[in-house]
């Protein structure tokens, strides 16, 4: 048994898929499956079973996997403590991140990191996926935190770290709307319903593709401000689409003034979040340390 195998288990739990987990980890499906099989043989229990719903824990897996996740959480805390004892971490760390990460897992991760490393000057900015990708390639930032899309072909001089964090998409609708009672929603189903567009690159691209094929949506207005978006939906002005990462601990959802319904086409995919850095950079220890804080906080937020 080794930590690499345990991280593989965590990835499969997170993505509910051998295929998606292997893509996020940048290893082959066969290598991932073989590593998990070796661990299962060592433990004497099968951890996962495949079904139409995905790769899910077995009954014994549900009993054993929590201990694996606890071990990984302790490993992360141990590494953070060891690193914090080192006086070699100095300098400036430049980071760019997407809005969905910035409003959820980044603030707490950054707060804990600055507490442990007050000597590090952290500079962080919010940007869109394409811009972050470009900034990493041109070495204008040290770390890019974003969702790696198919169109982003990484080169050999880029280091990609899975954050073990994924997100699907939900339609957020007023709680008393008839849409709140549907099992899923597609744009075609609600083409004439007032729509509030979250004005970000990923959403704009998909909306433009849909409108080019199926005709215009009834867009009430667009906004880059998540608070305006959620408040407008809760007041019954229309519906919107967000990643379910943005819904974690959302007060409107907790107060039951809005409902979240799984999205169909063209938002029926899943985002996988990564950290990206330049290979062989002088700040490798520093960048990997910060990414470990994001990973650990992402797991904590997810599990809570």
Distances (CA, A) of 190 to 180, 214, 218, 304: 12, 12, 9, 33
6-51, pLDDT tens digit by residue? Answer: 988 998 888 888 888 888 787 888 888 888 999 999 999 999 988 8
Q: 3-80 and 169-262: same fold? A: no
Least confident of 95-99, 191-195, 247-251, 298-302: 298-302
Find the mean pLDDT for residues 266-286: 86
The radius of gyration of the chain from alpha carbons, rounded to an integer in Å, stands at 20
Instruction: Quickly list H helices, the chain.
Output: 3-15, 18-25, 29-43, 59-84, 99-102, 106-116, 129-137, 201-214, 226-234, 251-254, 284-303
Q: Which fold has domain 89-164+271-303?
A: D-Maltodextrin-Binding Protein; domain 2 (3.40.190)
Distances (CA, A) of 71 to 46, 78, 137: 19, 10, 34
Residue with token string 């009993």: 63
Domain boundaries, the chain: 3-80, 89-164+271-303, 169-262
Regarding the domain with residue range 169-262, which homologous superfamily does it belong to in the CATH classification? Answer: Periplasmic binding protein-like II (3.40.190.10)
- Residue 86 is predicted with a pLDDT of 55
* CA distance linking residue 82 with residue 95, whole number of Å: 23
Confidence at residue 303, expressed as pLDDT on a 0 to 100 scale? 42
Does the pLDDT at position 304 exceed 50? Answer: no
Residue 301 pLDDT greater than 60, yes or no: no
Average pLDDT over residues 235-247: 92
pLDDT of residue 299 exceeding 60, the answer is: no
Q: What is the pLDDT of residues 84-123, one digit of tens each?
A: 665 456 789 999 999 889 988 899 999 989 888 888 899 9
pLDDT at 72: 85
Res. 239: pLDDT tops 70:
yes
* Three-state SS at 226: helix
SS3 content of the chain, % helix, strand, coil (to 5): 45, 25, 30
Percent of the chain residues topping a pLDDT of 90:
40
Instruction: Please indicate whether residue 199 or residue 302 has the higher confidence score (pLDDT).
Output: 199
Q: Taking 80 as the threshold, does the pLDDT of residue 61 lie above it? A: yes
Which of 105-109, 154-158, 204-208, 232-236 has the lowest average pLDDT? Answer: 154-158
CB contact at 8 A, 181 and 171:
no
Architecture per CATH, domain 3-80, reads as Orthogonal Bundle (1.10)
Give residue 300's pLDDT band: very low, low, confident or very high (50, 70, 90): very low
């Amino acid at each position: 048994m080794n930590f690499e195998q345990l991280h593989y288990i965590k990835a499969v739990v997170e993505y509910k898929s051998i295929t998606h987990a292997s893509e996020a980890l940048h290893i082959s499906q066969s290598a991932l499956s073989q590593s998990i099989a070796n661990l299962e043989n060592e433990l004497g229990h099968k951890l996962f079973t495949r079904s139409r719903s995905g790769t899910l824990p077995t009954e014994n897996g549900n009993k054993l996997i929590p201990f694996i996740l606890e071990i990984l959480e302790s490993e992360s805390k141990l590494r953070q403590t060891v690193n914090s004892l080192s006086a070699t971490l100095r300098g400036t760390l430049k980071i760019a991140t997407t809005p969905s990460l910035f409003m959820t897992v980044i603030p707490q991760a950054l707060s804990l990191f600055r507490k442990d490393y007050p000597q590090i000057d952290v500079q962080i900015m919010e940007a869109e996926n394409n811009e972050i990708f470009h900034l990493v390639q041109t070495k204008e930032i040290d770390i890019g935190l974003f969702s790696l899309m198919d169109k982003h072909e990484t080169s050999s001089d880029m280091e990609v770290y899975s954050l073990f964090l994924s997100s699907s998409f939900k339609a957020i609708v007023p709680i008393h709307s008839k849409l709140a009672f549907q099992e899923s929603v597609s744009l075609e189903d609600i083409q004439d319903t007032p729509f509030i567009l979250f004005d970000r690159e990923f959403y704009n691209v998909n909306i433009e593709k849909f409108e080019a094929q199926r005709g215009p949506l009834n867009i009430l207005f667009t906004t880059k401000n998540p608070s305006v978006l959620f408040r407008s939906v809760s007041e019954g002005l229309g519906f919107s689409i967000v990643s379910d990462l943005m819904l974690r601990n959302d007060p409107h959802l907790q107060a039951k003034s809005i409902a979240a319904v799984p999205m169909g086409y063209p938002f029926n995919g899943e985002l996988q979040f990564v950290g990206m850095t330049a290979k062989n950079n002088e700040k490798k220890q520093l960048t990997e340390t910060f990414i470990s804080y994001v990973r650990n906080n992402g797991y904590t937020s997810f599990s809570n």
